[in-house]
Structures are given as structure tokens and as C-alpha cells.
């Protein structure tokens, strides 16, 4: 049974898409430059780009070290970009279990959509067995744009 719930999904994974032309030499700006989350998974570990697929799990046990893996597309224009990833993990009663957040800066000279992967590690120490949902968003801090929320569900067992 696939219990993963994807609320938003657009684009291709692992590529760079250069902004195209909308006709005879006219530059086509994207309608929205907000980050686009492609995939969110609970993963056992995070070392390589393929881990979001290779290490995806639907359940873990109390006391495990796991991570929320995120694949997202990001519109970049030449310069430095500040990006924040955040996840709210809620239990089956919609009570907050954990809040995760990480931030980074990237320097680029491209003007294109690019695909990035990120993980937010956490421990399930002290968790009660049950069903959980991780709700993830990516924020472009310089452009003040935030992705739509995407979630994944998983269980924590004894």
C-alpha cells in the first residue's frame, strides 16, 4: 500500500532546464519563480542524489535516525541564493511532533531551473508509535518566494 501523499508535483528530476524562447527570439520568463517540490520521502540515510528513491521507507522504529529527503526544482539567476527547507512533522491527531529547518546559500551563474536534493535528518527518540505526516516547504529567502507544501506519510513502530 502506498501511503505517500504528494500535494504538488511539476517538472523533471536531475536536470537543468534553460529558460526557453516563446517565439522569434523573445525571452520567456517563468510565470512563477517559486521553488517546486518534486518529491518528499522518509529515508534511512542520505549520502547521494539517488538516496531519495533508493533509501525511501514507509516506516521506521522508535529511536531510529532517519531523514526527510526532498527533491525540488529551483529557478536561479546569476548570483547568490539563500534557500531554507522546513518540515513540520505531525502525528495522527495533527499535533506537532517535530519542526525541522535548514538553510544554505548557493552561488550560480546560470539563469535556469535546476534540480536540487536536500535532507532534513532527525531522530525518532521519544516518539509514540503511530502514523505521522511530514509537511515540507522550500523558501527562496532572497526572492521571498515559497513552494507549495508537499507531504509524505509514514509510521513509527515500537
- Give 77-111 as a 3 state SS string: CCEEEEEEEEEEEEECCCCEEEEEEEEEEEEECCC
Domain count, the chain: 1
Q: Which stretch of DSSP H or E encloses residue 146? A: strand 145-146
Between CA 17 and CA 144 the distance in angstroms is 22
The answer on pLDDT for 105 being more than 80 is: yes
User: Has residue 16 been placed in a domain?
Assistant: no
User: Has residue 127 been placed in a domain?
Assistant: yes
Q: Give the CATH number of the domain where residue 85 resides.
A: 2.60.40.3880
Between CA 90 and CA 129 the distance in angstroms is 12
Q: Model-level pTM greater than 0.85? A: no
The answer on pLDDT for 149 being more than 90 is: yes
Q: Are strands 56-57 and 96-108 parallel, antiparallel or unpaired?
A: unpaired
User: Has residue 109 been placed in a domain?
Assistant: yes
pLDDT band at 27 (very low <50, low <70, confident <90, very high): very low
Average pLDDT over the chain, rounded to an integer: 84
pLDDT at 70: 97
User: Has residue 66 been placed in a domain?
Assistant: yes
User: Has residue 9 been placed in a domain?
Assistant: no
User: Has residue 119 been placed in a domain?
Assistant: yes
More confident: 4 or 136: 136
User: Has residue 39 been placed in a domain?
Assistant: yes
pLDDT band at 11 (very low <50, low <70, confident <90, very high): very low
Looking up cell 520568463 gives: 29
User: Has residue 92 been placed in a domain?
Assistant: yes
Between CA 62 and CA 1 the distance in angstroms is 22
pLDDT band at 26 (very low <50, low <70, confident <90, very high): very low
The domain containing residue 132 runs over which residues?
A: 31-157
Amino acid at each position: 500500500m502506498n501511503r505517500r501523499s504528494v500535494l504538488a508535483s511539476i517538472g523533471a528530476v536531475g536536470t537543468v532546464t534553460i529558460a526557453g524562447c516563446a517565439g522569434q527570439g523573445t525571452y520567456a520568463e517563468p510565470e512563477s519563480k517559486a521553488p517546486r517540490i518534486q518529491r518528499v520521502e522518509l529515508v534511512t540515510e542520505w549520502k547521494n542524489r539517488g538516496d531519495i528513491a533508493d533509501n525511501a521507507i514507509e516506516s521506521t522504529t522508535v529511536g531510529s535516525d532517519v531523514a526527510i529527503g526532498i527533491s525540488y526544482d529551483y529557478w536561479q539567476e546569476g548570483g547568490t541564493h539563500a534557500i531554507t527547507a522546513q518540515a513540520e512533522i505531525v502525528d495522527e491527531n495533527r499535533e506537532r511532533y517535530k519542526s525541522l529547518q535548514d538553510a544554505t546559500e548557493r552561488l550560480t551563474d546560470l539563469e535556469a531551473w535546476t534540480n536540487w536534493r536536500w535532507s532534513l535528518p532527525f531522530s525518532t527518540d521519544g516518539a509514540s508509535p503511530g502514523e505521522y505526516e511530514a509537511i515540507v516547504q522550500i523558501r527562496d529567502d532572497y526572492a521571498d518566494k515559497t513552494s507549495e507544501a508537499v507531504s509524505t506519510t509514514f509510521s513509527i513502530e515500537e
